[in-house]
Structure formats: C-alpha cells, structure tokens
C-alpha cells in the first residue's frame, strides 16, 4: 500500500466551518463536503488512507489566533493522523506570545499564513516577525501568497503574487516556505523561486485532479522530476470541488520514477516537519 502524507488539510471549529461553508456557497463553489462538521471531516480524512496530514488553520481577524490554536491542540489529541500548524494574525496584540505557545509549548510543526484572508502582501513588514520566528525555530511556513485559486488579474486580490516573496527570501534566504496550489497561476515565477531559493517548496493542493483546470501534465512531470525534493502532495481537503483521490490519482498518472514519487507522496512532508507525525501530535497534546 502506498504511503501518503497530505500536506494541505483544513479542519476548523464547527462554528467557523459553518461560516466557511456559507462563504464558499455564496462564491459559487460546490463543495462535496459542505455542511460536514469537524468530526465527520476527520473521519472522512482518516478513512481515505492518508497516514499523516498537515492541519492548517488560519485566523481571519486579530486576537483569535490563540483560541484557534488551542482548539487545534485539543482536536489533535488522540488523532495521530494530524500534524498541527499554528495560526497567527499580524495584528494580534502579542504575536510572540501566540507563537511561543503554539511552536514552543505545544510543539506545532510550523505556521500557516493565508494572505488572501489577511489582506496583506507577502513582503508587508508586519509579517516579518512571523517569518523570523519560523526561521529561528527552523520550522516551515505554508503561505498562500499566490493568486490561485482566484481568477488571474483579479483586482480584488491585487496584493497577491509570488513576486512579493522575493524581498522576504532576500532578507531571510534560509526560510522554509511551502507555496500551495503549485504556484498557479504563476508557474513560471514559482519555478524561478525553486531555482533561486533552496527553502522553497510547492504543494499540489487544489491543482492536481481539478477538473476545472487544463494543466500541462508534460510540463508538470518535468518540474516534478527536476525538483523531486521540493514538491509535496496535498489536497486542500475539504475546500475542494473534486475528490482528494482525484488529485492523488493525477499524481500517480504522471508515472514518475518510484524514488521521486515516494518523496512527493510523503518523504518531503516528513522531512519538513523534522520527524514523524506521531511525535508532532504527541507534542501538541501537552497541556497548556
């Protein structure tokens, strides 16, 4: 049986989930998992055969990060499939206290930053304390900095763009960043970042297996073969309009060399968090 780590999963407290389902429904997304609560989502993830999964929360307003991270810590208790990442908002009153609790006391594996939700560009100075905190601890940042999945050239999200990561990486060249959605719709820029900065990684979430996208599979296979240590399989479950299995099958259909496929399916994700998911989960269940 193939070992699979999903590097991009979202499960939230039920009250937040209700708001998320309503937002995406209003935006016209048809999500198969819409309406499910956190327990049902976890059961679905666990039954899918995923061995470990990065749990990526994100705060949409200041001073909710600590409570959200506490929920993540408690939700991970006795759920060894999940590897918790920390939520933090750049306008939190005490960012360092939020990060110390999540990253140091509870052993969260890294930080999740969703710039489309925060409304900040990647090189905004207010974000640099977050980047430095991750780099000092040698922990990755999963950062939604690109334009996907929003329509290209969408004026509403004009502050997004992978080019804005360059000032960050020039200042902090050793920073480990994971760019979701394969860097679409800025694939050329994503490849340029891969070439220039060894800490850059791409995950496959939302993109692979998406029936609404026309991907150049020949080009993707070339990228995956050129950078087998820098690509992570991820689904974006449950905020996708297609089955996570479709994304996994699309990856398998590329017929990559077995060593490269193994890295993309789980070894790269394991390496980024510095060990087994069960160790991360055990740390996250420590009492506050």
Q: What residues does each domain of the chain span? A: 5-284
Residue 167 to residue 171: CA distance in whole angstroms: 6
* Other C-beta atoms lying within 10 Å of the C-beta of residue 27: 8
The helix (H) or strand (E) run that includes residue 202 is strand 200-203
According to DSSP, the residues that pair with 82 across neighbouring strands are 53
CB distance 179 to 190 below 8 Å: yes
Determine whether 83 is exposed, middle or buried from the number of CB atoms within 10 Å of its CB (0-12, 13-18, 19+). Answer: buried
CB distance 68 to 102 below 8 Å: no
pTM score, whole prediction? 0.95
* Other C-beta atoms lying within 10 Å of the C-beta of residue 48: 17
Q: What is the CATH number of domain 5-284?
A: 3.20.20.140
Report CA Rg, the chain.
17
Residue 186 to residue 184: CA distance in whole angstroms: 5
Structure tokens at 229: 């240590």
pLDDT in 10s for each residue of the chain, 288 residues:
689 999 999 999 999 999 999 999 999 999 999 999 999 999 999 999 999 999 999 999 999 999 999 999 999 999 999 999 999 999 999 999 999 999 999 999 999 999 999 999 999 999 999 999 999 999 999 999 999 998 777 888 999 999 999 999 999 999 999 999 999 999 999 999 999 999 999 999 999 999 999 999 999 999 999 999 999 999 999 999 999 999 999 999 999 999 999 999 999 999 999 965 445 555 555 544
The pLDDT, as a whole number, for residue 151 is 79
The pLDDT, as a whole number, for residue 288 is 46
Q: How many CA atoms lie within 13 A of 256 on its CB side?
A: 25
The pLDDT, as a whole number, for residue 282 is 54
């Amino acid at each position: 049986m193939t070992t699979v780590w999903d590097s991009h999963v979202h499960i939230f407290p039920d009250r937040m989930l209700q708001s998320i389902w309503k937002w995406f429904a209003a935006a016209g997304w048809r999500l198969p998992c819409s309406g499910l609560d956190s327990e049902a989502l976890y059961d679905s993830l666990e039954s899918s055969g995923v061995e470990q999964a990065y749990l990526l929360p994100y705060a949409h307003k200041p001073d909710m990060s600590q409570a959200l991270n506490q929920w993540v810590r408690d939700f991970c208790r006795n759920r060894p499939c999940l590897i918790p990442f920390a939520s933090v908002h750049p306008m939190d009153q005490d960012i360092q206290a939020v990060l110390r609790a999540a990253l140091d006391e509870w052993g969260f594996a890294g930080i999740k930053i969703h710039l489309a939700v925060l409304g900040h560009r990647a090189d905004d100075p207010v974000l640099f304390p977050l980047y430095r905190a991750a780099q000092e601890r040698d922990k990755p940042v999963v950062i939604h900095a690109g334009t996907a999945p929003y329509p290209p050239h969408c004026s509403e999200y004009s502050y997004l763009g992978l080019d804005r990561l360059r000032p960050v990486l020039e200042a902090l060249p050793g920073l480990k960043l994971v760019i979701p959605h394969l860097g679409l719709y800025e694939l050329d820029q994503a490849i340029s970042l891969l070439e220039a900065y060894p800490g850059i990684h791409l995950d496959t979430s939302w993109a692979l297996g998406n029936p609404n996208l026309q991907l150049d599979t020949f080009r993707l296979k070339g990228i995956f073969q050129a950078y087998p240590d820098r690509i992570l399989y991820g689904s974006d479950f449950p905020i996708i309009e297609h089955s996570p299995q479709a994304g996994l099958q699309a990856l398998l259909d590329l017929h990559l060399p077995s060593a490269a496929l193994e890295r993309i399916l789980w070894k790269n994700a394991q390496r980024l968090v510095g060990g087994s998911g069960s160790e991360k989960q055990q740390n996250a269940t420590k009492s506050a």
